[in-house]
Amino acid sequence: MSDTLVDFDEVLTRYEPVIGLETHVELGTESKMFCGCSTTFGAEPNTQTCPVCLGLPGSLPVANAVAIESTIRIGLALGCRIASWSRFARKNYFYPDIPKGFQTSQYDEPLCTAGHLDVEVDGETYRVEIERVHLEEDTGKNLHVGGATGRIHGADYSLIDYNRAGIPLVEIVTRPIPGAGAKAPEVARAYVTELREILLALGVSEVRMEQGNLRSDVNTSLAPIGSLEWGTRTETKNVNSLRSVERAVRYEMRRQAAVLDAGGRVLQETRHFHEDTGSTSEGRSKEEATDYRYFPEPDLVPIAPDEEWIEKLRAALPELPAARRARLREEWGVSPTEMAWLVNAGAVELVGDTVAAGASPADARKWWLGELARRANDAGVELAELAVTPAQVAELVGLVTAGTINDQLARQALDGVLAGEGDPAAVVESRGLAVMGESDELVSAVEAAIEGNPDVAEKVRGGKVQAIGALVGAVMKTTRGKADAATVKRMLEERLISS
């Protein structure tokens, strides 16, 4: 069944979108939230479990102090108010991946509230208000076997892996974000991107989206332009790539506009996102609010962070990405637009490390956004995944600056580095890439070019100096690019003009 969709630009002539995001982040703690089990990804199913995270009767939880500290640090980085008193609560619902029959979460007493995050799209800043940041535990993982889609519908049976059950999970909830208009899909993406950068800077999670360390529920609603009330929202669950966040909002806007145009009503429901088609499909209805019968968790003591601890954590926060970008922009002398390119290419850290290894900011940028970006693109990988380190790029730049190689030879040296032949200097040595000096070999190449192109040589002698380019080209060709073009030009001039 395919949805009727309205053209994206047309949606905006009649409707105003409001978006909102609930993002779950698995913290990178060594042990789980309420027990000592390991959190290492990829272990044999059900080997990282104990009576606590399996919810066996009589087992007692103990809260992970590092997880609490990490949550407070996230709250501080997002400008939140940190609660002086916070409690865990039981969120009661039965589901096979929740062995206890309830999830230990936070309800009306979260750790952090009322923050914000500014994101930039096309030079415009959008303030995203953060409603709350709270701490809870992850669920186990269901594996539905035998069906075509991997979903429970149509499966023969299901397996459950409890290794993930009880891993600390931070939920970051925004307030509704109105006013983004046509940029709503990009603002959603920019928000998750910036949030991910902050989490990386804090070192609280590996935020590997492909491993599900960070997943967003994306809320979208439409209201007729000028309407005082917001429309009914849908919640697209567990979107786990930056690109998909943007696509999910775009798709929902187009789908909901078609429903409203036809006089229909948008149903309040969760929806699934499909990577292959970029579409969403209906999930669970949320027309009636589920009563989770929250009540304070009696087995855990309340968390009461004191002022002194909070201020200590605040003072120890690392430089945050936005401040870091502003500082680097200044240091490298780049425009906001160029900085945005670097951010989008995932090149800020790489350029920074290359500069730290001795390259000039301009050279570092040129290589990472030029040749290396092209290679990453050809190979279909991220820049950081290329088999070349910032130190090696700096070495390559150094060899060009010193005149040992030119740009063309540097690209050949890079081939060698990427093929695992060693550092640039070693590759230049082993592949014989160094620029030729004024050797006998070069002298004979220059003389051969003059002899082989008598008509061109005659033109140069006769005063048509620009014709010398053809002779330089001929020498570069016979030396397979290893000669220095300026040297070759000078040698030709000595023979044709000065004589």
Q: Does 63 bind Zn ion (CB under 5 A)?
A: no
* Binding window for Zn ion (CB under 5 A); candidates: 32-40, 151-159, 316-324, 408-416: 32-40
Of the two residues 35 and 364, which places its CB atom closer to Zn ion in the complex? 35
Of the two residues 52 and 187, which places its CB atom closer to Zn ion in the complex? 52
CB of 164 to Zn ion, least distance (A): 11
Of the two residues 163 and 193, which places its CB atom closer to Zn ion in the complex? 163
CB of 53 to Zn ion, least distance (A): 3
Number of Cβ within 10 Å of residue 219's Cβ equals 22
The count of residues in the chain is 499
Q: Does 427 bind Zn ion (CB under 5 A)?
A: no
The CA distance from 145 to 451, in Å, is: 76
Of the two residues 59 and 238, which places its CB atom closer to Zn ion in the complex? 59
Residue from 50, 202, 320, 418 binding Zn ion (CB under 5 A): 50
Of the two residues 53 and 67, which places its CB atom closer to Zn ion in the complex? 53
* Binding window for Zn ion (CB under 5 A); candidates: 45-53, 184-192, 386-394, 446-454: 45-53
* Binding window for Zn ion (CB under 5 A); candidates: 37-45, 269-277, 347-355, 454-462: 37-45
Of the two residues 53 and 119, which places its CB atom closer to Zn ion in the complex? 53
The dihedral formed by the CA atoms of 164, 52, 158 and 276, expressed in degrees to the nearest 10: -20
CB of 114 to Zn ion, least distance (A): 33
CB of 87 to Zn ion, least distance (A): 22
Number of Cβ within 10 Å of residue 138's Cβ equals 22
Q: Does 33 bind Zn ion (CB under 5 A)?
A: no
Map the chain to HEC letters. Answer: CCCCCCCHHHHHHHEEEEEEEEEEEECCCCECCCCCCECCCCCCCCCCCCCCCCCCCCCCCCCCHHHHHHHHHHHHHCCCEECCCECCEEEECCECCECCCEEEECCCCCCEEEEEEEEEECCEEEEEEEEEEEEEECCCEEEEECCCCCCCCCCCEEEEECCCCCCEEEEEEECCECCCHHHHHHHHHHHHHHHHHHHHHHCCCCCCHHHCCEEEEEEEEEEECCCCCCCCCEEEEEECCHHHHHHHHHHHHHHHHHHHHCCCCCCCEEEEEECCCCEEEEEEECCCCCCCCCEECCCCCCECCCHHHHHHHHHCCCCCHHHHHHHHHHHHCCCHHHHHHHHHCCCHHHHHHHHHCCCCHHHHHHHHHCHHHHHHHHHCCCHHHCCCCHHHHHHHHHHHHCCCCCHHHHHHHHHHHHCCCCCHHHHHHHHCCCCECCCHHHHHHHHHHHHHCHHHHHHHHCCCHHHHHHHHHHHHHHCCCCECHHHHHHHHHHHHCCC
CB of 165 to Zn ion, least distance (A): 8
Of the two residues 53 and 77, which places its CB atom closer to Zn ion in the complex? 53
Report how far apart, in Å, the C-alpha atoms of 221 and of each of 85, 224, 408 are.
34, 10, 53
Q: Does 27 bind Zn ion (CB under 5 A)?
A: no
Of the two residues 138 and 395, which places its CB atom closer to Zn ion in the complex? 138
Of the two residues 39 and 221, which places its CB atom closer to Zn ion in the complex? 39
Residue from 37, 364, 376, 488 binding Zn ion (CB under 5 A): 37
Of the two residues 44 and 440, which places its CB atom closer to Zn ion in the complex? 44
Residue from 53, 253, 347, 476 binding Zn ion (CB under 5 A): 53
CB of 110 to Zn ion, least distance (A): 24
Of the two residues 52 and 449, which places its CB atom closer to Zn ion in the complex? 52
Q: Does 167 bind Zn ion (CB under 5 A)?
A: no
The CA distance from 32 to 70, in Å, is: 13
CB of 26 to Zn ion, least distance (A): 15
* Binding window for Zn ion (CB under 5 A); candidates: 51-59, 372-380, 417-425, 429-437: 51-59
CB of 37 to Zn ion, least distance (A): 3
* Binding window for Zn ion (CB under 5 A); candidates: 33-41, 68-76, 214-222, 327-335: 33-41
Residue 180: partners with Cβ closer than 8 Å, 6 or more residues away? 17, 19, 126, 186, 187
Q: Does 165 bind Zn ion (CB under 5 A)?
A: no
CB of 237 to Zn ion, least distance (A): 26
Of the two residues 168 and 185, which places its CB atom closer to Zn ion in the complex? 168
Q: In what order do the strands lie in the sheet with 295-296?
A: 102-105, 89-92, 295-296
CB of 162 to Zn ion, least distance (A): 8
CB of 45 to Zn ion, least distance (A): 14
Residue from 19, 35, 74, 180 binding Zn ion (CB under 5 A): 35
- Contacts with Zn ion by CB under 5 A: the residue count is 5
Dig out the tokens for 243 from the structure: 């690109």
Of the two residues 53 and 78, which places its CB atom closer to Zn ion in the complex? 53
CB of 208 to Zn ion, least distance (A): 22
CB of 62 to Zn ion, least distance (A): 11
| Residue 34 near residue 52, CB atoms below 8 Å | yes
* Binding window for Zn ion (CB under 5 A); candidates: 49-57, 215-223, 434-442, 470-478: 49-57
Residues in contact with Zn ion by CB under 5 A are 35, 37, 50, 52-53
